[in-house]
Amino acid sequence: MGTGGDDDAVSAQLPFFVYGTLRPGEHNHDLFLAGRTSAEEPATLPGALLYDGPGYPYLVEDAQDGGPVAGACVRAAPEEYARLLRTLDQLEDFIAPGHPRNMYERVARQVTLADGTALPAWVYVAADGVARDLTARGQRIAGGDWCGRAGAAGV
């Protein structure tokens, strides 16, 4: 992780905002999060767009045209936090902030819980090059909900 900001965030143990295959009920949730969390609750992230990827979504921040993206705020069990952070970084192809081979960047953003509470959480957003390609040629997921997209299995 290497930067003071990441080290501070690890010690603070920010929750994760998950919006695609890591959401409760989706296949990667069972593989990577089941049994490793202390809380999971519905949440939204404002100012973002979702794009369809090959079996998973990409989130692109867009304060002007973006709307709320549906997801869940997932809190890691304290004893699982460091390992889960490393695992999710690897799953999301996040190497280090701004690394040219990142598929996603891990950034701290304010998310809103269903009761209106706002809190900071880690969010994996499309890395700059990926985001440029998606905004130019990608297929947006209308409504900002991966689980509610057209053709979603199990919905």
Pairing of strands 16-18, 118-126: parallel
The residue from 40, 61, 92, 105 that is catalytic is 92
Handedness of CA 30, 36, 39, 45 (dihedral sign): negative
Spatial distance between the Cα atoms of 77 and 80, rounded to a whole number of angstroms: 5
At 82, is the secondary structure helix, strand, or coil? helix
CA dist 19 to 8, 50, 72, 108, 143, Å?
A: 24, 9, 7, 15, 12
> Which helix (H) or strand (E) is 1 found in, with range?
none
Check: CB of residue 129 under 8 Å from CB of residue 105: no
For the question of residue 61 being annotated catalytic, the response is: no
**Residues classed as catalytic:** 92
